[in-house]
Structure 1
Amino acid sequence: MTALAFAVCVLCLLPQAALTRWACARACPASCSCTQERSCSVLCDRSGLAELPKEFPCEASAINLDKNRLKFLSERAFGTLPSLKSLSLDHNNISFITPGAFKGLSNLVELKMAHNEYISYLHTRTFTGLKKLLRLDLSDCNLFNIPDRIFIEQTALKELLCFQNNFRRIPGAVRGMENLTHIYLERNKMEAVAYNSLLGLGSLRYLNLQENRINVIHEQSFQDLVRLENFYLNDNLLSDLPRFAFKGLIRLKMLNLGGNQLTNVSKTWFGDLVELEVLYLDRNQLLCIEEGTFENLTSLISLHLNSNNLTSLPLPVFQPVYFLGRLYLFKNPWECDCSLKWLKQWMDSYKLVRDIPCASPSSVAGLDLSQVVFPSANGTCVNPAELNLTTASSDTASTTENRFHSLLSKLLQQELRDEMGNGTESRRNGTLQEAEDGQLSAGVRGQRAQTDQTLLCFMVPWLVLGWIRSELVSCPSCT
């Protein structure tokens, strides 16, 4: 038996797993390492490659070429690899991909080409042959658009990641892709969502449009997204929304509208969102929320209204969301009057909300709503401002009265001292003549005392009125 025949017989006797391991290691490129656990993985990342290896193991199920210096992918760049499921080309210098570059990878499920800053253009036939592709990552490239028919063969595609590019609109290539479940388009330069941008996406569950420049959303733009569950529209330039913007999104569980320029919230926006659990309206410029806005949100658990311009949240606006797990209201200029008494009671009872600093009235400014006391008068709530004004008025009246009595007392005491001084001086300087004329002098003194008392009766009111006038002039807040 020849040596070759013997080797073949030995290989035939090996278990299939061992045979696969042997084949994977035998054909591993020189600059890469190959590992065999459940399947053959070829690791060529961080290898300084400027060109692709000439061949890969036929049994390879995953190839990692991240963080190299690859610039160009020619037609059939990887040969024929029927077992390949995952191919990663992240963080390279790829600038051109020849149409048909991925032919021969008929079972490829995941293709990653993120962080290739020189990819600015894709040909319509770039992904020819990838009929089983489920996940495509083109994030952080330099794409301005992609051809409308680029995914004509990728009917099975479920996840498309194109965030941090230069798209000015939602790529028309996604329209009608019935199997797409996730679209990532955040951090692009899109300014509008057209009525036909998302047509035919009946399986979509996740849509991320955050951190764009969207300022216009057309009516019925989301009408086909009947299975959408997570929707990010935050950090755009929206100042208003269509009247029935989210009509039909009955499975939506999370909606993020934070970081826009909304000034009011319409009750028509959320009418169909019966399964919504989390709603972000934070970091807008909200001044008011229409009554009935939250009345259909029977599944709502978390509501974010922080960092707006809200001063009040009347109970009719808020009803009937009493089963909230968390309510965020901080960073608003709250006016802590009787319209928020219900909120304080809710805070005290359920402990599900905190940090509601009062901006007004001045009597409670700086306090948290939880510290504000709302007294009642005849069964009616008294605002802190009114209570403070009543107390201040009483204190002012009491102080004025006390000072009036004090002045009057001083005047009378001064008059009494003057009379006593006059009597003492008369006794000290009295003469025999005065003694002889005592009866006459007593009459004169009596007449003088009566005159002084009469003058005092006239002078005191004028003195007091003058004092009050001077007090009012010196204290404008008392007028």
Structure 2
Amino acid sequence: WLADYLQDNPIETSGARCTSPRRLANKRIGQIKSKKFRCSGNEDYRSKLGGDCFADLACPEKCRCEGTTVDCSNQKLTKIPDHIPQYTTELRLNNNEFTVLEATGIFKKLPQLRKINLSNNRISDIEEGTFDGASGVNELILTSNKLENIHHRMLKGLSGLRTLMLRSNRISCVSNSSFVGLSSVRLLSLYDNQITSMNPGAFDTLHSLSTLNLLANPFNCNCHLAWLGDWLRRKRIVTGNPRCQNPYFLKEIPIQDVAVQDFACEDGNNENSCSPVLRCPAECSCLDTVVRCSNKGLTRLPKGLPKETTELYLDGNHFTQVPVELSNYKHLTLIDLSNNQISTLSNHSLSNMSELLTLILSYNRLRCIPVRAFDGLKSLRLLSLHGNDISLIPEGAFKDLSSLSHLALGANPLYCDCHMQWLSDWVKSGYKEPGIARCAGPGDMTDKLLLTTPSKKFTCTGPVDLSIQAKCDPCLSSPCNNDGTCSSDPVHYYRCTCPYGFKGQNCEEPIHACISNPCQNSGTCHLKEGEGSNFWCVCPEGFEGDTCEINIDDCEDNDCENNSTCVDGINNYTCMCSPEYTGELCEEKLDFCAPELNPCQHDSKCILTPQGYKCECTPGYVGDHCELDFDDCEENKCQNGGHCIDAVNGYTCICPEGYSGLFCEFTPPMVLPRTSPCDNHDCLNGAQCVVVGTDLRCQCLHGYEGEHCETLVSVNFVNRESYLQLPSNLLSPQTNISLQIATDEDSGVLLYKGDNDHIAMELYRGRLRVSYDTGSYPPSAIYSVETVNDGSFHSVELVAADQTLSLSIDGGPPKSISSISKQSTLNIDSPLYLGGMPEQASVSGGLSALQLSSGGHNGTSFHGCLRNLYINGKLQDLGARQNPGSPGSGNLWSNRQWLGNGVEPGCQPCQRGACIQGDCHPTGNQGFTCTCHPGWTGALCDQQVSNPCDGNKCIHGTCLPINSYSYSCRCQPGFAGVLCDEQDLDTANPCSLSRCKHGRCRVSGLGKAYCECNSGYTGEACDREVACRGERVRDVYQRQQGYAACQTQEKVSRLECRGSCPGGAEGQGTCCTPLRSKRRKYTFQCTDGSSFVQEVEKVVKCGCTKCSS
């Protein structure tokens, strides 16, 4: 609006210009077009209240601002920045170095703030009042810190908080006052802490809580935690299943699944992490809140220091600075750090200790007192700086010490000029210094007392000595030599960063130049005599330059032939041949039809032509290299649904059942029925008689065994009313019962026996629960660690002996219980029920409240399969007829018609004919899946497919239909196998099978692998050493021209033939000599200044030939 106004009213004559933003900086306001004035990024939030003369703060230093989000993460911050814009709605402070959250009042200035992220710091404490003014914050993330406990004072002010994340801390206890004032919290995560116990009512103040995460905590399920199991079952707001870790017999059992009577404080298990614990560091001695750690050689604050400490003695140790962690101990009234090695103090290092009364820093190495070193110590009464090296104290250093009554400054070299006059007046005003501190200068002020010397004597007569000023700024005296860089150091006073060639505390010590290995590429460094900082390099062959940094281009004068490409190496080169040539210099033309290079496949014939080669294919194959098998089934003559199988240069017909002939042209013959020997069989229970050779056998239905299928060994309890009753005379005082079960249910009665006493085994929340009582009440109970409701069969064994019962699952270690009673044995007169019980049965105890709450046997019956029941080693016939007169008996007789309602024989879900055109596979209790035959689909394989490639299994290839129900796979290059699931190494990488011992594998233009041997080796695998070989050298050619010595202007790369040849000594056999050479012209430069051009014979290949005479 202002620019528009000034353009309409040109009354501004001073040339007012914009300062920001940068895009308009230094431009005249009256000359900027309206469209240039825009708000980008967070400028709109900063300036939207400009009409009220309010401009919000800029983005804090080291932070990033996007919209209303201020991101200060990953900046190594230890305090929350002071100047945060008021428009901020989300503040990210994660991944920093916070240890304590201080009550600075920052959140009172941020009314729009809704989310705070403080994760991944090192926060161990939160001051009371830190979140004052943060009532609008609804999400606080404190994940991955070091909090050991939570109390409501820490989170005071967060009345509107809805989400509180406390994951991955060190919290060991949750008390019933931890979350007072957080009634709006809906989500609370305490995942991955060290919580072993929680006080009853710990979450009662969280009225809005709907989601609670307690996983990954080492809960001790003793009597102190008994309330939690019932609370979890009632509230149903917990994530997952928090589990017990102690005691041992409850380890990994979900807390909400443990019966109330099993939460016990027995055998010394009475631990409660919420009880107050008094700790003392191992290096110290403690008496109440007084901790003494004197003369222990400490360099840092000992671990485990109690937060309640009031007096801390750290004298006689090796501290080099005041520990920053001391600011976390707010109850300290005395700190003794005398006789250490502290050389500097930092500003605000003690500012949080509002209760500190005594601070002793005597006999250290203090040289300088920062002006704000003692800020915040308003209660301090005694300060001892005696016996240090302090010369100057800046005015205002003691301004916060309003309660100070005693100051010890003796044995310090005080420099009493005009800058120290304030201190003299300050100690005189209250006689805070007892008249011990003396001046060490300047001039006639030496040995004068600070307390009694008149203030007018403190004068400045000249510049302060540099050694005095350097105590607070050590770099003023330029201690670093040889252009070293000086920086202050809190421990070592100052530190020098030395330039190359120097070392030592002050960079005074030269180092020789070769220590940093300046010569590259394995060059050798040599120092120049008398010059420690200068050097020269001896380069290996193939390199040059002052530091051997240049790889000489050996391709400048190469001998590669037939348009091949030269590739530079180190002191050599390699010729990369075109597809038609080979050899070291690509001088030999390839014979493609040679056995090692022949590209024609499947025994086809290779023929050389002027244009290259061609392949004459054997019958049945096609393609440029005869690589494709022609599909002879494309025009097959198979009849009557015969399946064509391709072969080389032909095919075969696979005939349906009953058909025959080359093309399946013959139909099946007529077969007349005849009388079967099984007409008069005696197979029981619906079994089928089959003839095997001359013998008759009974093929039993599922669940039956025996020669005539007379014994029922497995049953399936389908309905909730089903059960079996066995006669009581099967049991004895010493009883062993074993059986196998499969179910996916959470609950159900497996076995029950008892009237006034009982033994009971049931499924309880997926585990086996066994209770046993021979006369006492309540009965004893034990749980299996394993869950058995996964649909698979599990073996269960019960052994009862007198008053002891042992339980074993799947052959694992047994768990035992005992019942204390005067009665010695189990009452064996009562009936034994399997899988459930009748409504009229008398239940004296033992079944869990979870089972009985459903009423009668409908809520307790087992649903699943039971097989192989052995009682005292004898397999029981589950189909044997029961007593028909017993009320509510199972009515089981020796034939299937007598099985009760809901009890089915057998445990196999795959009944005959379940899958119409496929194979049946059981999947659990009574489920199954079908794998269909080719050409069929559907859940029961009862639908014929029209396209056999639907759902094909070709991995790296294309599906090709063969007929209406089968297909084949055509593989992509590099793959093979029926389903194209195998990598064809020869095609994908021809070099994968090649082994070049002294060389490297190359691929020819035809895709064939061959070995390129290193110099001095030969053979197909480069495994034979060549005695006669050419070694490449790079040097000048030399000639004698009269009295002048001449040489080529540049070094020339050439071969020198070296080595011996078989056949005897030279002159009697063969010699290593040049086989090929070229003539090249080179310019020679002579010592007399003349030059000439001459042809030189340059060797390009060596070998063994007959020695010349």
TM-score, normalising length: structure 1: 0.46
Which gives a bigger RCO, structure 1 or 2 (Cα 8 Å, sep 6+)?
Answer: 1
TM-score, normalising length: structure 2: 0.22
Give the structure with higher Rg (CA).
2
Structure that is richer in helix per residue: 1
